[in-house]
Structure 1
Amino acid sequence: MLFIVQPLVGHGQPVQTLTIVEYRSHMSPDQPTMRGMARFADIVNRDSHGRLVVSVSADTVPGSPGEQIKTLQAGGPGAPDLMLLVTPALRHLESEFEIMDLPFVVRGERQAHALLDGPFGRALLSRLDGHGLTGLAWWENGFRQITTSGQPFRHALDLANRPVRVIPEPAFVETFKVLGADVVGLPYSELYGALKSGRIVAEDNFYSQILAGHLYDVQSAVSVTNHSYSAIAVVANSAVWRKLTVQDRNVLQHAALEAGRFERDLIREQVKTNRAELERHGMTVYTFTTGELAKLVSLTESVRQQFFLNYDPTIVDIYRREIAKR
């Protein structure tokens, strides 16, 4: 499905069409990222005076995250000009993107936004330059929570010896290993079936994906842990980017930032409504006590320390300086 924002005026100038897609397929138009991309298209249209037209697709690039990135890098027929990509995918290009996926590296939305919109986020995006990609701005999915069937997750070690699905990426695997879980790495497409069959009994996700995947049918509780923050980068094909005028690049950059603020606001609003909707579907929502949350932070400290050793010290130093300000 393709949504095209028509230009306001052409002024007799050639109109250039750019395409943007999400990393997930078949997203409904009311999802925050889809609404964010529509807002991006509107702003580009407005600020370029119709010189640039952005088409927004509800479908995505087929294949694994790695294959999606290769398609964006290669460009050409059928490839998007811009794409929303999450950090677990981008860490295959530069490992430092993984930092935002580590447990408890940020403690709230304000801190996450300050990190990504400041020197740390800019340093990460700049590392795409050597990969045929250009990073424009940071959007988000929000914080991840943990859902369960059977015994709820209310204490730091309640997942011990239980089969838990995680994104098959090192940061997620190691996080749940230190919590004692029997870790099962599965793509999202296989998640519902694995939960329904009882192969796994728990998983972590942000609220919108719990709802989108109808996980409330096969999970009875959600525990609010905010243990990992899901950041999304707006990324352009560098060859396409370089062909644009400086004026048009500025239009796209500004639009990505402005639409990102809009998208984040939608995510914050959605968190409240999604929690209520999950409860209406029969899920019990548990909030961790301060003491049990502190235990989770302590248990996962070894993961943060282990992974920080693998990253460019310059990036880690920027992260630590920025965190110290908050």
Structure 2
Amino acid sequence: MLAGMLLTGFTMSAGTAQAADIKERTIKFAFVQNMDNHWGAGAQKFAEIVNQKSDGKIKVKLFAGGTLGGDIQTVSSLQGGTIEMVMMGSGVLVGQIKEYVLFDLPFLFKTPQEVDAALDGPLGQKLMDRLPEKGLIGLSYWEHGFRSLTNSRRPVEKWEDIQGLKIRVIQAPLYLDAFNALGANAVPLPLPELYTALETKTVDGQENPLVSIESSKFYEEQKYLSTTRHVYNPLLVMFSKKIWDKLTPDEQKLLKDAAEEVKPYQRQVSREMDAKVLEQLKGHGMTVTEVSEEERARMAEKLKPVTQKYTDVAGPELVGELNAQLAKLRGSN
């Protein structure tokens, strides 16, 4: 169905660029994950749609696997106008816009549908509207997914098993505080440096969505996987404001529309891959511990001081708005 929708979009758009104000351009689109997962699938589809809708005038060149730097480096490049486009988990932006910590609060979301309702509604737009003041333009919210924990030392069934493990986390204060609160030694590292850190035993483990664990081949250095699903990461697709302001209104509309058109496709790819990848990881030799809902509740309880600290950072009113929306959704199910 999605393929049909996208094909219809192509058919309707073909030839329109000739009548619109579209110039010959090349867009560098950088991201830290590999091409063979849901990030790459979304980026590739975006490039195809932009090429089609611009009648080949706008070419999107993909730079996967952190070839242009880690998340923090590419945000800086975006603000400086040396890269046109990036995508990343929203937690990396907390240093720029503190309210983005909202989506990283531990055990906040239970289902992808809850996330969609939050991101695609007024609350998600409210945060995206803050990006231009930081030299960034938000195009769409795609999906990274629910994060789970791996390590090379032992199975993790309960939060006490995390104590003493050296865990790589993303370069965001909430993740440091959360894993330190669980008794780990949290180490912030850019993703492009992570595989080597696991290989050399600089760190014992890491936490990422299942699809990324498989795509990045972390199973080669990690024996144990625990389905903690402790945080959900939206994937924020952004453009350089410095370059955006030089685009014509037709070009801006084309890029924004293409990113939104890809959104349901990219999310579906992510969720289909997530449903299959657990068996693949078992096939690679990983020992999988399915973490119970009761244990997730214990972890959430242990992390209450961290949740409260970052509720204050995001703003209690904003968090209250999201919690009210989630309560309403859960009440209607």
Greater Cα shift, 33-42 or 215-224: 33-42
Greater Cα shift, 121-130 or 58-67: 58-67
Q: Is the 8 A contact 2:92 2:171 kept in 1?
A: no
Which residue matches 1:73? 79
2:49 corresponds to 1:43: yes
Q: Give the secondary-structure state (helix, strand or coil) at the position aligned to 1:310.
A: helix
Which residue matches 2:295? 292
Aligned equivalent of 2:31, options 17, 23, 30: 23
Q: How does 1:265-284 map to 2 (within 5 A)?
A: 265-284=268-287
2:37 corresponds to 1:34: no
- Give the drift of 1:66: 3.1
Which residue matches 1:56? 61
Q: Is the 8 A contact 1:216 1:283 kept in 2?
A: yes
TM-score (norm 2): 0.85
Distance 1:245 1:188 in 2: 35
- Give the drift of 1:61: 6.6
Greater Cα shift, 232-241 or 140-149: 232-241
Q: How does 1:137-156 map to 2 (within 5 A)?
A: 137-156=140-159
Q: Map Cα deviations across residues 136-166 of structure 1 (whole Å, 9 max, x no partner).
A: 1101211110112232011121112232222
Q: 1:152 to 1:47 in 2, by over 3 A?
A: same
Q: Is the 8 A contact 1:84 1:233 kept in 2?
A: yes
Which residue matches 2:170? 167
The number of aligned residues is 315
Which residue matches 2:210? 207
Distance 1:312 1:123 in 2: 13
Name the amino acid aligned to 2:165.
R
Q: Give the secondary-structure state (helix, strand or coil) at the position aligned to 1:142.
A: strand
- Give the drift of 1:203: 1.9
Q: 1:74 to 1:195 in 2, by over 3 A?
A: closer
Q: Give the secondary-structure state (helix, strand or coil) at the position aligned to 1:227.
A: coil
TM-score (norm 1): 0.86
- Give the drift of 1:316: 2.9
Distance 1:250 1:325 in 2: 33
Q: Is the 8 A contact 2:31 2:63 kept in 1?
A: no
2:97 corresponds to 1:94: yes
- Give the drift of 1:47: 4.1
Q: 1:245 to 1:318 in 2, by over 3 A?
A: farther
Q: How does 1:103-252 map to 2 (within 5 A)?
A: 103-252=106-255
Distance 1:57 1:308 in 2: 36
Q: 1:172 to 1:272 in 2, by over 3 A?
A: same
Q: 1:36 to 1:314 in 2, by over 3 A?
A: same
Q: Is the 8 A contact 1:149 1:220 kept in 2?
A: yes
Q: Is the 8 A contact 1:145 1:225 kept in 2?
A: yes
Distance 2:199 2:41 in 1: 31
- Give the drift of 1:280: 0.9
2:21 corresponds to 1:11: no
Q: Give the secondary-structure state (helix, strand or coil) at the position aligned to 1:230.
A: strand
Q: Give the secondary-structure state (helix, strand or coil) at the position aligned to 1:226.
A: coil
Which residue matches 1:257? 260
Greater Cα shift, 167-176 or 204-213: 204-213
* Structure 1 spans left out of the alignment, 5+ residues: none
Q: Is the 8 A contact 1:137 1:256 kept in 2?
A: yes
Structure with the largest fraction of helix: 2
Q: 1:314 to 1:52 in 2, by over 3 A?
A: farther
- Give the drift of 1:128: 0.5
Q: 1:46 to 1:321 in 2, by over 3 A?
A: farther
Q: Give the secondary-structure state (helix, strand or coil) at the position aligned to 2:153.
A: coil
Q: Is the 8 A contact 1:34 1:58 kept in 2?
A: no
Q: 1:212 to 1:96 in 2, by over 3 A?
A: same
- Give the drift of 1:171: 0.9
